[in-house]
Chain A
Amino acid sequence: MSATVIDGIQEAQQEPTQKNYLNADHTIASWLLTVDHKRIAIMYLIGVTFFFFLGSIAAAMIRVELTSPNGLFLTSETYNKTFTAHGVLMIFFFLIPAIPAVMGNFLLPLMIGARDLAFPKLNLLSWYLYMISGGFVLAAMILGGIDAGWTFYTPLSSIYSNTQITLALVGLFISGFSSIATGVNFIASIHKMRAPGMTWFRLPLYVWSHYATSIIIILGTPVVAITLLLVVFERVFAIGVFSPELGGDPVLFQHMFWFYSHPAVYIMVLPAMGIISEVISCFSRRRVFGYEFIAFSSIAIAGLGFLVWGHHMFISSQSVLQGVIFSLLSFLVAIPSAIKIFNWSLTMYKGSIHLRTPMLYALGFIGLFVIGGLTGLFLASVDTDVHLTGTYFIVAHFHYVMVGGTLLAFLAGIHFWWPKFFGVMYNEFWGKVSAVIVFLGFNFTFFPQFILGYLGMPRRYHMYYFAQEWQIYHVASTIGSGILGIGLILPACYLTASLIRGKKCSHNPWGAKGLEWEAAATPPVTENFTVMPIVREDPYDYDAIADSALYEEERKKGKKPALVGATDDEEKKD
Chain B
Amino acid sequence: MAHESHSSGHSGGHAHVIPQSKLIATMGALTGLMLLTIFAAQVPYWFPAFAWLKDQHLLMNLIAIGIAFWKAWLVVSIFMGVKFATKLTRLFAIGGFVWFTLMFITMIDYFTRPWEPVKGWEAGNSSALPRNVARPE
Which positions in A face B, CB cutoff 8 Å? 159-160, 162, 191-199, 219, 223, 244, 249, 251-252, 255-256, 259, 306-307, 310, 317-322, 325, 532
* B3-A196 in contact (CB<8A): yes
Contact A319 B108, beta carbon cutoff 8 Å: yes
Known A192-B5, A196-B1; judge A321-B105 contact (CB<8 A): no
- Contact assessment for B115 and A320 in the assembled complex, using a CB-CB cutoff below 8 Å: yes
- B112 and A199 contact, CB distance less than 8 A: no
Whole-angstrom CA separation of A249 from B113 in the bound complex: 13
Check A194 against B3 for contact (C-beta < 8 Å).
Answer: yes
Query: Is the pair A319, B112 in contact by a Cβ cutoff of 8 Å?
Result: yes
Contact pick for B136, options A160, A194, A259, CB 8 Å: A160
From A194, A223, A256, A318, give the contact of B5 (CB < 8 A): A194
Smallest beta-carbon distance B110→chain A, Å: 8
Q: Are A306 and B102 neighbours in the complex by a CB distance under 8 Å?
A: yes
B127 at the interface (CB under 8 A from A): yes
List residues 1-38 of chain B with CB under 8 A from any CB of chain A. 1-6
Which parts of B102-135 form the interface with A (CB within 8 Å)? Answer: 102-103, 105-106, 108-113, 115-117, 127-128, 131, 135
Closest 7 CB pairs of A and B: A194-B5, A319-B112, A321-B112, A319-B113, A322-B109, A255-B106, A319-B109
A255 surroundings in chain B (CB, below 8 A): 106, 109
**Complex contacts, A322 vs chain B, CB 8 Å:** 105, 108-109, 112
DSSP class of B's interface residues: helix, strand, loop or mixed? helix
**Measured CA separation A255–B103 after assembly (Å):** 9
Q: How large is the interface on B (under 10, 10 to 19, 20 to 34, 35 or more residues)?
A: 20 to 34
Known: A194-B5, A196-B5, A223-B103. A317 touches B128 (CB 8 A): yes
Q: Are A259 and B113 in contact (CB under 8 A)?
A: no
Cα of A192 to Cα of B88 in the assembled complex, Å: 11
A522 to chain B, nearest CB (A): 25
Chain A residue at minimal CB-CB distance from B114? A319
Closest residue to A203 on the B side, CB-wise? B5
- Contact between A320 and B103 (Cβ–Cβ < 8 Å)? no
In the docked arrangement, what's the CA distance between A193 and B112, Å?
47
Cα of A259 to Cα of B103 in the assembled complex, Å: 8
* Nearest-CB residue, chain B, relative to A329: B105
Instruction: Contact check, A196 vs B109: say whether CB atoms are below 8 A apart.
Output: no
Closest Cβ of chain B to A165, distance in Å, is 14
Residues of B within 8 A of A160 (CB): 136
In the complex, chain A residues whose CB is within 8 Å of the CB of B136:
160, 162
Shortest distance in angstroms between B67's beta carbon and chain A's nearest beta carbon? Answer: 26
Listed residue (A194, A195, A199, A320) with the most chain B CB atoms within 10 angstroms of its CB: A320
